[in-house]
Structure 1
Amino acid sequence: MWPAEKQKAVRLPGFSVDTKLFRELGELLVGRESTALIELIKNAYDADATKVAIVGEAIDDLGAGAIVVSDNGIGMSEKEFASGFLRIAGRSKTGTDRRSPWFERRYTGEKGVGRLAAHKLAHKLSVRSRRWNEEERDTLHGFPASYELAAEIDWDAIEELETIADIEESGAVKVESKKRSKESAGTQLRLAPLRRQWGERERNQFFQEVSTLTPPEILLAPLDDITATKPLLDQMSVRDELRPGGFEVNYLGDLAIPEGELPAAVAGASWVIEVDCDRQQRKLTISVSPTRRTVSEYTNAEGFVLERKLPSDSPNVGFQARILQKSNGQWPARYQGVRVYYEGFRVLPYGDAKDDWLQLDRDYRARGHNELGRLRRRSEWDLPPGSQLEGLAVQGNTAVFGAVLLTRTGASDLQMLVNREGFLPNEQFTFIEETVRLAIDLQVRVRYAATSTVKQARRATSGRQKRAAERASSGQSPSAHLLRDIHQRAQASISNARSAMTVGRFADAQAEIAKLEETLGSAVELSDEMTSEATMFRVLASIGLEHAAFVHEVRSISLVAQSVAEALDRVAAAEENIGRAKKLRAIAAESREIRERLRRNAVYLADVTGIEGRRRRSRQGVRDRLERVLAFFDASIHKKALAVRIQVDEDAVTPPIFPAELTALLSNLISNAVKFTEEGGRLHISTNEDKDSFQLKVENSGARVDIAAAEKWFEPFRSTSIDIDESLGQGMGLGLTITRSLVDEYGGRVRFVAPSEGYETAVELELPKK
C-alpha cells in the first residue's frame, strides 16, 4: 500500500465512440435494403400494430426519393424514443418472456439494432409517433392517443461529428412532443433522401425478397379442396401471441408489389408435404398426401403418414411446415423454394433463388440410380420400401413452394446471425433442416412409387395392347396374339443362334441370345399381368362352365311357365264363377310374365356365354346390343321407375371386339347404374367418337362418387351393395374390375368422369379405333 501521504487521486480516461460506429454497425448488422425494411416492419409488429404500409415515392430519384413506413401500433413517448429508438443495443425488449402490452406478442427482436435499418436506407429520418393513452383499444379505429412525438435524425450531420457524445448539443437529433387526442395511435417513419437509387433491377430484387415476408395465406389456409385426403395441419401456428390480432403488410406507390400468379397456380400442386413436430409431447408427424389432381391422373396414388416418438436425447424443438410440390412444371419464381419464418416473419436468406439450405438443387444436379440415403438410414422407421431408381425423381427448389414456421416458444435456442440473415448453426436448427429434408425425400419416394412406375407401365402396356389389337386375327384376343408372337420370336432367336454357332459366328449368336432374353422378359411381364387376374377369373370361369346347362334349364322352366299359363286360361274359360275366373286369368298373366323374363335372361346368357359371342371380333352395333342388355334389366328399371335416356346413333359401332365383350361391358356399367340410382331417378347412356377413339358413357342420378378417390372401385370385391335386389342380386364387386380388364385388353381405358348437369356419377370407357 502507498503511504497515506503519498496517495493521489488518479483520473482514468473514459471511453469515447466515434460516430463512424453508425455506418459500421449499419453495414454489419443490416445486410441489404429488404433486410432493413423487414427490421422496421418488425418494430411495428412489436408495437402491437395490425397494419403497416410501406410507400415508395419517386424512389428512382436520389434527390426526391423517399420511403414512408406507417403503422397503427401503440406509438412512442419521448422517453421511449430516447431509451428505445436512440439507444443502440438497448434492453427494452430483453428479459424472460417479454411480450407486447396489448396483443402480448413475443418480441421479434432483442438486440435493439433495428433502428440502424433507417441509416441503411436514407440520409435522414423523420419520425411522427402518436402514443397510446392505455385506454381500451377500438376494433375499428385502433388505439386511442393523446400524445404526439415528432423527431428528426440527420445521419450525415451525426457522421460529421467526432464522437457520439457530441450528438446531444449538435442539433443532428431533434425531438419535440405535444398533447394530441384527435388521431389514433401509430408511428410514421419518413426516410429521405435515399442512399440508393431504386431502378427497375433494384425494385425487382426487392419484390423477390419481400413478397414472401410473411407466409402466403394460401399455405396457411385449409387444403381440403386440394388434397385427396384430410390434411395433417388443420390450423398452423404462425406466431406466439396470446391475443390474436392479425398482421398485414401493404406495399404501395413505387414499392407496390406486382400481382402474383400464385392463387391460380396452387391448383396445379401435385403433392402436399406437412410436418408437425410437437415439443411438449416430443412427437414427430410427417404427412405426404397426393392432391386430387394427382389422384385423377395416377389413380393408385396414396398418401403416407409417419409418426415417431422422439428420443430424449434429440434436440427439443417444436415447429410446423407445409410444402406444396409440383411434378410437371415450376412455381412462379418469387415463390420457389422453402422459406423459414420466425414469429411470422421471413428469415433471409432461406429460400432465396441462390440459397440451397436444404441441398435440393445440389442433389437434383447429382441425381442418379440410387435409393435416397436419408430414408435408407431410417430403415427401422417402417417407411415405404425404397427403389434403386427413386434418386432419379429428386427435384430442385423450383418444384417446391413451402414454409417452415418457428416461434420463440418452440425454438427458443435459435439465435440470429449478426447481419440478421440466418440462424447460428446449432443442434436445434440442424434437426429442423434434417427433418424438413427427410419429409421431402419421403415425398419423392412415395411419388416415385405411385407415379413414375405406373406411368411407364401404363404407357408400355397401353401401346403394347393397341399394337396387338391391330395385328390380331378376328378370332384372337390381343393377349393371345401377344403370347403367340412372343413364342414365334423366341423360336426364331433360338434357330438363328444355332445357325450362327454352327458356322462360327459367335458374336451373331450372342446377339440373338440377347434378343431371346429380351423376348422372355416380355413374356414374364405378360405372364405376371395374366397371373394377377387368374385367381379371380378361375372363380368366374367355374361359374361360367355351368352357364350352358343353366341356360337350358332356364329355357325349360320358361316353357313350363308357358304351359301353366295356357292351362290356367283353359280352366278360367270353363269356370262359371266370374270372380274365380278373373283370378285364374290374372295368375296366367303372371305366369306369362315369368316366362318372358326367363326368356330374356336365357337370351342374355346365351349372348354372353355362347360360342358365337366369342368366335370372331368385329365392329358391333351398339344400339342393338344395348337394347338387349336393357331388356335384361327391364324389371329392375320398371320397379324403380327409372327414366332412361339413350343418345346412341342407330349406326354407332365399336372398334373390332367380340360380341360377348360388348355385352359384358354394357351389362356391368348399366347394372351398377341401376343399383345405385334412387327410385324415380335417371339414367343416361351415350356414345361419342373422334378420329382416334370410341367412347361410351353411362351416367346416373344416384349417390355422387368422389372422382379423386374413385380408383378403388376398380379393385376386385369392392362392392358397397348390401341389400339384395330381387332382379340384380347382391354385387360381388367384380363388375368394374372385369370391365377394366376387358378395356385394357385393347389398350383403352375406363374411369369415373365429371357427370353432365342433372346427374351425379358418370363412368366412361374409351376404345382405340385401330
Structure 2
Amino acid sequence: MSIIAIWGAGLPGFSVDTKLFRELGELLVGRESTALVELIKNAYDADATKVTILGEGIAKPDGRITVTDNGIGMTEAEFTSGFLRIAGRSKLGADRRSLWFQRRYTGEKGVGRLAAHKLARVIKISSRRWDGKERDPVAGFPADKALDATINWDKIEALDTIDEIDRSDAVTLKSIASGGKYAGTALTLSPLRKQWTERDREQFIDEVATLTPPEVLVGSLRPTVTTAQPLLDKLRVRDELRPGGFEVSYVSDLALSESELPAEAESASWIIEVDCDKGNRRLRISVMPTRKTQAEFSNAEPFVLDRKLEKTDPAVGFQARLLQMSNAQWPKRYQGVRVYFEGFRVLPYGDARDDWLQLDRDYRSRGHSELGRLRRRTSWDLPVGNEKEMLAVQGNTAFFGAVLLTRSGADELEMLVNREGFIPSEQFDFITETVRLAIDLQVRLRYAATSEVKQARQITKDRQQRAAQRAASGQAPTAYNLRELHEGARQSLNNARLAISTGRADEAEAELVQLEENLHSAAELGDEVISEATMFRVVASLGLEHAAFIHEVRSLSLSAQALGDALETIAREVTDDAVTKRLRAIAADARHLRERLRRNAIYLADVTGIEGRRRRSRQALRERVERVLGFFENAMARRGATVDIDIPTNLQTPPLFPAELVAILSNLLSNAIKFMGDKGRIRVAGETGDSSFRLRIENTGDKVDPQNSDRWFEPFRSTTTSIDEALGQGMGLGLTITRSLVDEYGGTIRFVSPSAGYATAIEVEFPRS
C-alpha cells in the first residue's frame, strides 16, 4: 500500500512540508499528560479493559514509555486507514460505537496519534487483531493476525515534504504471525523528546492520578457514611451498552506514589450529589451531612431539590458527586472538582490554579451577605438564607469531586483544539451554574447547622469565663454558675408574682420567660455534671485510695531513710574495705529510694490533698511542670527521654486550683511519655497572648491527626494495651478529665499541627482574666 496515499498527498502542484506534524503536535496536544490520555483513549475505543503504562529510564536520553492494552488490536488496513490517517473520519457519525462493549467513541477528530509525536521521536507499534470469536472473560480477545510498525518522526521531519515519506524508511509496516496470543496493542515510545526531571514526573503523576474518577466518587456509599438516603446509587461514568470496566495501571518510573487520600468517604463532612436528566428535563440536587457532622451538629439535616428544568435551560445530562471537608483540606493531589468525559478527565478543570467554579474567587471576597445565586431563586422553596452565610464559603481545597459527562448527555460540547477544556457554550455554562448552585446549597445548610451550635458553644464558653472571674477563690466556676442561675430564677419568680398581684400581665410574662431560660440553662449545666458523675465517682474512689496511699508512701520513705542510716553506721564499723564500699553503695540506693518516695508523696498530695482544692490562685507554670516531670523521672530515664521546657520563669497561669493544674499536666505529660518512643523528645512550651494563656506539649513517636482527634477525648478511649511499670495502663479518662477541667474555665484543648521534628502536639488555652 502506498504511504503517499496514506498521508493524503499527490494532488498536482500541491505539497505539504513535514514540519506540519510538529506544528500539529504542539497545537493539538498541550502537555505530556494530555498526550498520554489520547493514547489511552485509543485503547478504550478498541474495547480494552486494561491499559498498562510502563516508564523505564525516563530521566535518561534513551528512556522509554510503553503503552500496552488488551483491546481488539488492528489489521494492516485498519492501521493505515486509522492510526496513520490524520483527521480521519473513522469515528464520525451519529452513534459510532466500539465493536464489543458498544462504547461511544471518545475521539472524533483522529488526532490522537499525534500524541506519540509529543512524547517521543520514534514509536514502535505491535498489534494482534481479534478474530471475531467470543471474548474470553479472563484472557480477552482471541487473535489471528498481527503486525509490527515503526514511525520515526526524526526521519520524517528530515524530509522536505510528506510525499517523500513513501520512498523512505521513516514509516515501516509488516504483517506477522499472531503466535496464538490474545489480541492487544503495545506502543513503545523511545527515545523520549526530553529527559524527565523529578518535577516533571511529579507533575505528570499529579495530573494522571485522577485520570479516571476514584471509586469513592462514583460507587455506592456505605451506610456508615451518612444516615440520609443517597440520591444516586452508582453514578454513570461511561456510555457503554455492555459494561466491561476499564483500568489504567502505572508501572516502574511512572508508578503512582502511595496515596495519602483517606480511603473512606467518612472523612467528608457533607456529600453533594447532582442528577440532571436530559431526557426528562429533570434536575435533582441532594446535600447530605455525614455521620461525623451529625455527631457534632445534631441539627444538621439533608435537603433534596427536585425541579423540572426551565424551557430556557439547555438540554444537558450529567451526574456529579462532591465530598466537602469542614475546617480541613483534602490532600493536594485530590483537591478540587474535576470534569470527566466518557470516564476520562478533562484538563484543566480541577487543577490547582484552575478556578472554573469560581470558589477561590468567592472565598477571597466573601463578606456579610446572603448567597446571591440562591437569593435569586426565592420561588424554589429553598432553605431560608442568612445575611452572614457567605462567610462560610470555602475554596477548592475543601472539595473533592467529579462531574461526569457522557456523549449522549452532552453531545453538543466540543473540545478546544489543544484537547484541554471545552469550547465556551451555554451548555457548559449550565453545567457550571448547576454544580455551583449545589455547592451554595451545601454552604447554606452547613452555616445553618453550625452557626447555632457554635453560637451556643460560645455562649457557654463566655459564661464559664465570667464565672471563673467572679467566683470566690475557693469556689468552682460551675458551682458559681448554678448558684447564679438559681438566684436569677428565684428573682424572676418573685418579680412575676408581684406583677400578677398588681395586674401587670406583660411584665409577668416577661419574667416567666426569663425564668424558663434560667431553668433551661440550669438543666443543661446539670445534665453535663450528671453525665460525668459516674466517671468521676470511679476517679474519686481512686483518689481516695491515693490519699490513703500518701501516708503509706511517706512511711516507706522514712523506713528507707532509716535503712540507709543503719547501713551507713554498719559500714563505719566494718574493717573490710570491700564490704564497707558495698554497704555504702546500698545505703546510697536506700537514700535515693527515700528521695523518690518523698517526691512522689508531695506530688500525690498536690493532687489529692485538701490544700490543692482549697483556693484558686495564679501558679508558676515552669515550677509546676518540673515538679510533675519529677514524678515521671524514672519512666523517662528508662526511655532515654529528652525534655525541652520552653517556659519563662515568670509565666503564671490564670487562677486555678493547684490540684487542677497538676492533673492537667500529669495527664498530658504521661501521654507524651507513653507515646514518644525510645529516646524520644518532648517539648513543653507556655506563653501569653493579648487575651489568652497557652500551654503546648509536643512529642515524637506516635502521630495523632488533628483532623480526626476528637474521639480521643471520649471517656474510656485508650490506646494503651500493655501495663507500664511506672505509668500503668491507661483507663482512657485522662483527656476526658482534662477537657472537663479546661471547659470549667471557658478554655479549649485540642490537638494541633506539631512543630518540625515532632509527631504530635496538644494545646491548652485559657482566657487570661
TM bracket (short chain): 0.5 to 0.7
Q: Counterpart of 2:390 in structure 1: which amino acid?
A: G
CA shift digits 1:677-719 (9 cap, x unpaired): xxxxxxxxxxxx99479xxxxxxxxxxxxxxxxxxxxxxxxxx
Q: 1:339·1:403 contact (CA, 8 Å) conserved in 2?
A: yes
Q: 2:314·2:427 contact (CA, 8 Å) conserved in 1?
A: yes
Match of 1:145 in 2: 143
Alignment of 1:204-215 (within 5 A): 204-215=202-213
Q: Counterpart of 1:409 in structure 2: which amino acid?
A: S
Q: 1:472·1:481 contact (CA, 8 Å) conserved in 2?
A: no
SS of residue matched to 2:81 = helix
Match of 2:47 in 1: 48
Call closer, same or farther: CA 1:106–1:485 in 2, change over 3 Å: same
Q: 1:218·1:263 contact (CA, 8 Å) conserved in 2?
A: no
Match of 2:165 in 1: 167
Q: Counterpart of 1:68 in structure 2: which amino acid?
A: T
Call closer, same or farther: CA 1:458–1:530 in 2, change over 3 Å: farther
How far off is 1:181 after superposition? 4.2
Match of 2:30 in 1: 31
Match of 1:481 in 2: 484
Alignment of 1:349-364 (within 5 A): 349-364=348-363
Aligned residues: 535
CA–CA distance in 2 between the matches of 1:55 and 1:48?
Answer: 20
Q: 1:272·1:324 contact (CA, 8 Å) conserved in 2?
A: yes
In structure 1, stretches of 5+ residues that fail to align are 1-10, 489-523, 541-612, 627-644, 657-688, 694-750, 757-763
Q: 2:27·2:417 contact (CA, 8 Å) conserved in 1?
A: yes
CA–CA distance in 1 between the matches of 2:511 and 2:316?
Answer: 52
Q: 1:269·1:324 contact (CA, 8 Å) conserved in 2?
A: yes
How far off is 1:179 after superposition? 2.9
Match of 2:230 in 1: 231
How far off is 1:534 after superposition? 7.6
CA shift digits 1:662-688 (9 cap, x unpaired): xxxxxxxxxxxxxxxxxxxxxxxxxxx
Alignment of 1:291-440 (within 5 A): 291-440=290-439
How far off is 1:368 after superposition? 1.1
CA–CA distance in 1 between the matches of 2:158 and 2:406?
Answer: 41
The alignment yields a C-alpha RMSD, in angstroms, of 4.0
Call closer, same or farther: CA 1:290–1:257 in 2, change over 3 Å: same
CA–CA distance in 2 between the matches of 1:451 and 1:621?
Answer: 25
Call closer, same or farther: CA 1:28–1:534 in 2, change over 3 Å: same
CA shift digits 1:63-111 (9 cap, x unpaired): x111100000000000000000010001111111000000000000000
Match of 2:129 in 1: 131
Q: 1:74·1:132 contact (CA, 8 Å) conserved in 2?
A: yes
SS of residue matched to 1:263 = coil
How far off is 1:223 after superposition? 2.0
Alignment of 1:457-472 (within 5 A): 457-465=456-464, 467-468=466-467, 471=470
SS of residue matched to 2:48 = coil
How far off is 1:378 after superposition? 1.2
Q: Counterpart of 2:440 in structure 1: which amino acid?
A: D
Q: 2:135·2:142 contact (CA, 8 Å) conserved in 1?
A: yes
Call closer, same or farther: CA 1:528–1:60 in 2, change over 3 Å: farther
CA–CA distance in 2 between the matches of 1:201 and 1:440?
Answer: 33
SS of residue matched to 1:367 = coil
How far off is 1:296 after superposition? 1.4
Call closer, same or farther: CA 1:394–1:650 in 2, change over 3 Å: closer
CA–CA distance in 1 between the matches of 2:208 and 2:387?
Answer: 40
Q: 2:260·2:331 contact (CA, 8 Å) conserved in 1?
A: yes
Call closer, same or farther: CA 1:527–1:331 in 2, change over 3 Å: farther
Q: Which moved more, 1:43-52 or 1:443-452?
A: 443-452
Alignment of 1:496-511 (within 5 A): none
State which structure, 1 or 2, has the greater radius of gyration over its C-alpha atoms: 1
Q: 2:218·2:236 contact (CA, 8 Å) conserved in 1?
A: no
CA shift digits 1:332-362 (9 cap, x unpaired): 1110000000000000000011111001111
CA shift digits 1:354-386 (9 cap, x unpaired): 111001111111111111111111111111111
CA shift digits 1:710-740 (9 cap, x unpaired): xxxxxxxxxxxxxxxxxxxxxxxxxxxxxxx
How far off is 1:314 after superposition? 1.1
Q: Counterpart of 2:456 in structure 1: which amino acid?
A: A
Residue of structure 1 aligned with 2:87, choices 89, 95, 100 = 89
CA–CA distance in 2 between the matches of 1:284 and 1:276?
Answer: 6
Call closer, same or farther: CA 1:150–1:12 in 2, change over 3 Å: closer
CA–CA distance in 1 between the matches of 2:512 and 2:432?
Answer: 46
Q: 2:271·2:323 contact (CA, 8 Å) conserved in 1?
A: yes
1:242 paired with 2:241, answer yes
How far off is 1:253 after superposition? 1.2
In structure 2, stretches of 5+ residues that fail to align are 1-9, 492-508, 546-607, 614-660, 666-712, 719-735, 746-769
CA–CA distance in 2 between the matches of 1:30 and 1:530?
Answer: 73
SS of residue matched to 1:464 = helix
Call closer, same or farther: CA 1:28–1:754 in 2, change over 3 Å: farther
How far off is 1:51 after superposition? 0.3
Q: Counterpart of 1:21 in structure 2: which amino acid?
A: L
Q: Counterpart of 2:208 in structure 1: which amino acid?
A: V
Q: Counterpart of 2:238 in structure 1: which amino acid?
A: R
CA–CA distance in 2 between the matches of 1:34 and 1:526?
Answer: 71
CA–CA distance in 2 between the matches of 1:90 and 1:525?
Answer: 83
Q: Counterpart of 2:231 in structure 1: which amino acid?
A: L
Q: Counterpart of 2:484 in structure 1: which amino acid?
A: H
Match of 2:113 in 1: 115
Q: 1:277·1:320 contact (CA, 8 Å) conserved in 2?
A: yes
Call closer, same or farther: CA 1:525–1:432 in 2, change over 3 Å: farther
CA–CA distance in 1 between the matches of 2:209 and 2:158?
Answer: 37
Q: Which moved more, 1:303-312 or 1:354-363?
A: 303-312
How far off is 1:478 after superposition? 2.6
Q: 2:282·2:309 contact (CA, 8 Å) conserved in 1?
A: yes
Q: 2:282·2:308 contact (CA, 8 Å) conserved in 1?
A: yes
SS of residue matched to 1:262 = coil
Match of 2:595 in 1: none
Match of 2:723 in 1: none
Q: Which moved more, 1:324-333 or 1:136-145?
A: 324-333
Q: Counterpart of 1:141 in structure 2: which amino acid?
A: A
SS of residue matched to 1:61 = coil
Q: Counterpart of 2:481 in structure 1: which amino acid?
A: P
Call closer, same or farther: CA 1:296–1:165 in 2, change over 3 Å: same
Q: Counterpart of 1:481 in structure 2: which amino acid?
A: E
1:444 paired with 2:447, answer no
Match of 2:266 in 1: 267
